[in-house]
């Protein structure tokens, strides 16, 4: 009986043999240690981390641990802007839905991320010049590919929505690239 309990306990706790995708903050922390300390590549790490940012997590007593993990994971200046922008936007949105004391943690965290990743400053300040009409993108550079032009036009349409009063950010979208956070603003902070 002891051997069975010992074997079953460690088999369930090592995180390798179970069928679950993620077991929460501890699982993400273990992956983060593997990525940073040992160079292990985890392709869906940031999406799992993004999925942990919920109002329930900010209402729990572990919100400081979650923000430390986010801070540690987003320290690299080599991260894509859309990843950092999605995390910034999600934290700002969740801080509206979480209890008031969570703002003591989230506001300095958001300031630090914006300072560390200057490409995300567009979330705070956008000019009407960014909302160019459709078709102007082709006149700038004719050597760009059709995919690049399509992305640019989509981005310009999303920025134009901002000036029409619509937020292109999709809170329910689990994919970092498709949530359109980079084309949004941090209206949650105003």
Q: What are the pLDDT digits (tens) for 47-57? A: 988 999 999 99
Average pLDDT over residues 35-51: 73
Average pLDDT of the residues in 32-43:
60
> What pLDDT, in 10s, does the model give residues 120-166?
988 888 765 554 433 344 444 555 678 778 877 877 777 777 777 88
Q: Residues 99-105: contacts with CB within 8 Å, 24+ apart?
A: 99/58, 99/59, 102/58, 102/59, 102/63, 105/63, 105/64, 105/67
- pLDDT-derived band at 21, boundaries 50, 70, 90: low
């Amino acid at each position: 009986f002891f051997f069975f309990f010992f074997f079953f306990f460690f088999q369930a706790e090592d995180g390798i043999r179970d069928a679950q995708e993620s077991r929460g903050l501890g699982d993400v922390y273990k992956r983060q240690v593997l990525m940073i300390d040992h160079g292990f590549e985890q392709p869906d790490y940031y999406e799992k981390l993004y999925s942990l940012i919920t109002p329930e997590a900010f209402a729990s007593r572990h919100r400081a641990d979650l923000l430390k993990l986010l801070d540690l994971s987003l320290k690299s200046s080599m991260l894509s802007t859309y990843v950092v922008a999605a995390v910034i936007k999600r934290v700002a949105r969740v801080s509206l839905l979480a209890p008031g004391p969570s703002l003591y943690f989230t506001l300095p965290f958001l300031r630090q991320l914006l300072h560390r990743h200057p490409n995300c400053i567009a979330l705070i300040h956008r000019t009407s010049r960014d909302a160019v009409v459709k078709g102007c993108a082709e006149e700038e550079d004719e050597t760009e590919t059709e995919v690049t032009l399509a992305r640019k036009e989509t981005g310009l349409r999303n920025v134009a929505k901002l000036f029409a009063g619509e937020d292109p950010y999709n809170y329910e979208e689990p994919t970092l690239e498709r949530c359109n956070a980079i084309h949004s603003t941090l209206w949650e902070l105003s």
